[in-house]
Amino acid sequence: MDKVLFVDTNIYLDFYRIRSEMSHKFLTQLESLQSSIVMTYQVEMEFKKNRQAAILETLRSLKTPSPIPHPAILSEAVACQSLGKAHEELKKGVAGLTLQLREMLREPGSCDTVFTVLGRLFSKNDGLTLHETSLEKAQVVHQASERFLLGYPPRKNSDNSIGDAVNWEWLVQVASRKKLAVYIVSRDADYGAEWDHEYYLNDWLRDEFGRRAKKGASIHLIGRLSDALREFSVSVSKAQEKAERAIISGRRRAKVAEESGRYIDYLRSLKKEDLESEIDSKIADTIYLLLDDETMCSLMAETNAGPWDIDDYNILDIEFETESATVQIGFHATGEADLDRPFCGDKISGNAEATIDESGDVTYIVKDAEIEDWSK
């Protein structure tokens, strides 16, 4: 039986979070399997939408270590001078990495290996790839819209888009043509449950796949890319496993803290760079909630644009209260202009305040915002 692989967007974004050369190894291995990879324009959009935030998360974590303190009387000692030189080299290294990350933001096509390799996967033309221009798109979107309205998985309760549904409908359509073993790599709870590092596909999705896919086809949910690659006879090193486990472990600790209602204590325990990274991840996952704010709704209604999306934000400040954390944010939102109505703006910028509670839930209040002056 032939095998196909679908990789969730967040797994691709992990390539920016893995702090070693192992991300390039994973990329090379994935590209070698391109003829077996199921891809959609939805994954491409989500990747390009969130890629900059993932890079900024890494940028914020790049901090030059403070010089190692030593008694002034030992300043001329060889060991102290060696430490000073080592610290200068570290500063140069951090500056070099920062420059490279800035170049990745500025020129992704020529400076970002992840962007380049995934670009080739996004653009491949085969029966496994759903493009925006594909003839099947209209049917897939229609079916995805129906399942979204009915509340079918994969869908979070807070979801306001049919993205996951589009990916699932395309997977089922691919498996309906030919008997396939479908492997989904995702740690998203929309797809199923996890216990002790094992992942179990949602019961409804499993039954639905059995009804709609080609007779004899099978489907499997896997949480680690390294495990999925082995299913395709790709050799994975111990270093790759370790790098991936480090990413998963950090997210799991945060999840445990949220579920126990001790997320603020967890945040307080983090080092500055890890705190900034965790807060950035939390904001990135929930920033869309800003669109529900009353001030934003009023401003969006004044324009001829929609649907709207928060396409950029900056974390300005983080403060802790007894049982919450308050995050000050600058943001920028963009809508798609309705060409059948007089143009009156499609960009909104402003400042907002996010409050994170003990369970990790985030609420937003827009402090000030305005439609960018489109008349100039």
pLDDT reading at 96 higher than 80: no
Query: What's the Rg (C-alpha) of the chain?
Result: 23
Average pLDDT in the 155-180 region?
89
Give the distance between the most distant pair of CA atoms in the chain: 80
**280: exposed, middle or buried (Cβ count in 10 Å: 0-12, 13-18, 19+):** buried
Contact present, 220 and 183 (Cβ < 8 Å): yes
- Please state the pTM of the whole predicted model: 0.67
- Predicted confidence at residue 155, as pLDDT, reads 84
Closest by CA position to 147, among listed 127, 173, 182: 173
Closest alpha carbon to 199 in 227, 171, 179, 232: 227
Both tokens of 36, joined, read 């077996």
Per-domain residue ranges of the chain = 2-61+107-241, 271-371
What is d(CA 111, CA 100) in angstroms, rounded to the nearest whole number?
A: 8
For residue range 310-359, what is the model confidence (pLDDT) as tens digits? 878 889 999 999 899 999 999 999 888 877 777 678 899 999 999 999 98
List, for residues 106-158, the tens digit of each pLDDT value.
899 889 999 999 999 999 999 999 999 999 999 999 999 999 999 999 987 76
DSSP-assigned letter for residue 314: E
| Integer Cα distance of 128 and 72 in angstroms | 66
